[in-house]
Structure 1
Amino acid sequence: MGLVEGFSRSTLRQMTELYEGTTKNGLGAVLSNLKSFPKDATLGTLVSGFLVVLVAVTGPIVIQLTAAKNGSFTDAQTSNWIFITWLTSGLFGLFLSLRFRMPMIGSPSTASMVLLVTSLQAHSINEAVASYIIVAVTFIIIGATGAMRKIMKFIPHEIIMAMLAGVLFQFGVQIFTSFTAEPWLVFIMVLVFFVARRLNVRTPVVPVFIVGIVLTVALGKLQFNGADLFWVHPQFIQPDFTWASAINLALPMVLATLATQYAPGFTVLRSAKYQPPIKYSILTGGFISLFTAPFGNTGVNTSTITANIAVGEHADPDKTTRYTAGVLCGIFYITAAVFTIPIIDLFNMLPPAMIATIAGLALMPALANSLHESVAGVQGREVAMATLLITISGIQPLGLGSPFWGLVAGVVLSAIPLRTLKN
């Protein structure tokens, strides 16, 4: 009888671990959750998963198109890049959501894509791919060793956020420089954005995009261009490893991704009463990124802003079935990847002023948050401002970009001992 009871407890424990996502049996967890997915999915998780991807194809894609233009990418290279980032974001979220039974949302690093907007003017796509490989290997090491906390402790969070704010700064400015080209279009889009923010709309960039499309058609600004292809054909890109690209691209990308993607992404999950699988998330993102970097993938990681759409009670009141939002998000991401070229063709029809405005408005919350966090500490404000201004300046001593010099200045200045005055 004791043997039967022991066996029953063991079986019960295994079933509980599978249900809660805490089991060490990865394949068993995936198969179990995949089997229960059809009955666990709800309309709320379906809508949430769709909204996450809708935001991705109306905001970050604009940043990618801008970076690709600055880097003189061919049409094939541009579509290849966007395709691989959406595909891997979908696979990342799909696998981890089924493995750990929680809404894990994947996304490319927005901060990394923003860095590429300026850096690709000085580096070739081959150098960029080499940097992606370095970043992926670095994250595999970080995930395996648990070094994330040590790295974040060595470089003050305020300095990283100040560097990011400096990189984002130009996107905010471009909203208003675009006003001279299309005053009514830009004005109404900005107005819609702030009205949506005041009304606490979860995804303000979506109504902005819809209104922008309607106005573009109404004003006769839509530019029809013929498409030669429909399907993306992944292309291998030969990496070119150089010290300059490793310092200008790889180093800022690693730090920015840690500070703006992984760290806040895990915080979002904790706020929803989940225990995020930090090690497995970083390792999964690292390995997926490593294998797809030669095809132009900047890297995949946990989402932050869009993750809020899928992890809260508004997605599903039942915490144990909310993982389906992550699964559905992954499916929608992969579907978007299949239709990459038609989606790019749509954006190529839009006037440049609308593209610049969408990009700026999509990144405005990130810019505001970066500025706020960079000056949150009273004693380090001047150091953060020095980092911010150096990054904005665009200086390139020794051929190294201003984001790198901003980080160097911030680390050196913050290392100066602080004298405490006694009353």
Structure 2
Amino acid sequence: MSRTARTVSSAVAVALALGLSACGGSGGDDVAADAKQTLTVWAMGAEGEKLADVAKEYEKDHPHITVKVTPVGWDVAHQKLVSAAAAGTLPDVAQMGGSYMGEFAELGVLEPVDTGRFDEKDFFPAGWKQGEVDGTAYGVPWYVDTRVLYYRTDLAEKAGVAKAPTDWKEMRELATAYQKKAGTKWGLSIQPSGLDTVQNFYSFLYSAGGAIVDDKGEAVIDSPEAVRALEEYGSYFDKGLANKSVPPGYDVVKDFGNGRVPMFFGGPWHVTLLNEGQPQIKGKWAVAPVPADKTSASMAGGSSLVVSKDSEHKAAATEFISYLTGTEGQADWYERTKDLPANTAAWDSGKLADDADLQVFKQQMDTAQSSPSLAKWTEITDKVDQAIAKVTQGKASAQDALKTAQSEIEGLVK
């Protein structure tokens, strides 16, 4: 999914009120894959712009297929999908993030994935899981992303540290050394409060062995592991190693470039942003796996491709998705967008195999964890955002804040 895309789960109730509960039309007779036809495709954000170019290449080899790509902004994507689902006008193929999947699967408007055609073993486990709801796959992984640690190697050397931190203790020590010995303003940039604070917290939560909701669908955010993770997260603010007041829309790239912030957790797109926007620090930074507690684990993001249950072009849609998610299509998509391939075989050759930084992301994806595909997931994570803010602002202990969140989330998962 896009970096900041969110879902509004109340839309489920709206759509249900419009008569979509557990339905979805048959779509009539499916048109054969080799028949002349037009496929409608919605893709979000920058992906929507780039996919139109791929579609033109696809049409050259499949002259009987016209692929009509509609770019949709992430800010309006959810509402457009909900409205289309209610009206029975979803496109044949749509890009869908994990936080949308449970919602639209519940509405009954998605066609289950043909697991005879698409093998989950070809994809990162966390990428495949994002497309599953209650054990049924509705989305084929298109691209993935995860968070790793970015750190200034030149400032670390100045602080007397020669290697990347591998665990929580080493990360705290490096953050402290950056401030005291290298003169940085902060030791680590992590979000203190606001929308999607949980995305920074995941690296701590998952590495501690915690979760928000377990595999049984039960809330577990007040577990000892989760409390330990939030205590560790909060300690950076208590010790003045992280900024308690970060303005909305803050971009860490500039402060990483000027040395005010020497460490942050970032995604693969930050590699390009740093190379293009902060050329003065080329060769002075590196990426490393998330420092471990019980393990090194990060969040899994990305997007899947789904087929509408009402589509009359399911065969052709499946062929197009197979092209986009196959080894060659994935390598081509990376070259066009720098989105990380969800198909693991695409990492075995070319730049993806040769780039040490990119291989760190692959290593992190092997242990990354995806969020459950629950219709109310946004409401659930909002409760965690609130708990984190209480701790970073010194208004509650980790245990008390998560106890409150646990009670609130229990009411959302029943």
Give the TM-score normalised by the residue count of structure 2.
0.28
Hey, which of these two has a bigger chunk of helix by percent?
1
Of structures 1 and 2, the one scoring higher in RCO (CA 8 A, sep 6+) is: 1
Higher strand share: 2
Question: So what's the TM-score if we normalise by structure 1?
Answer: 0.28
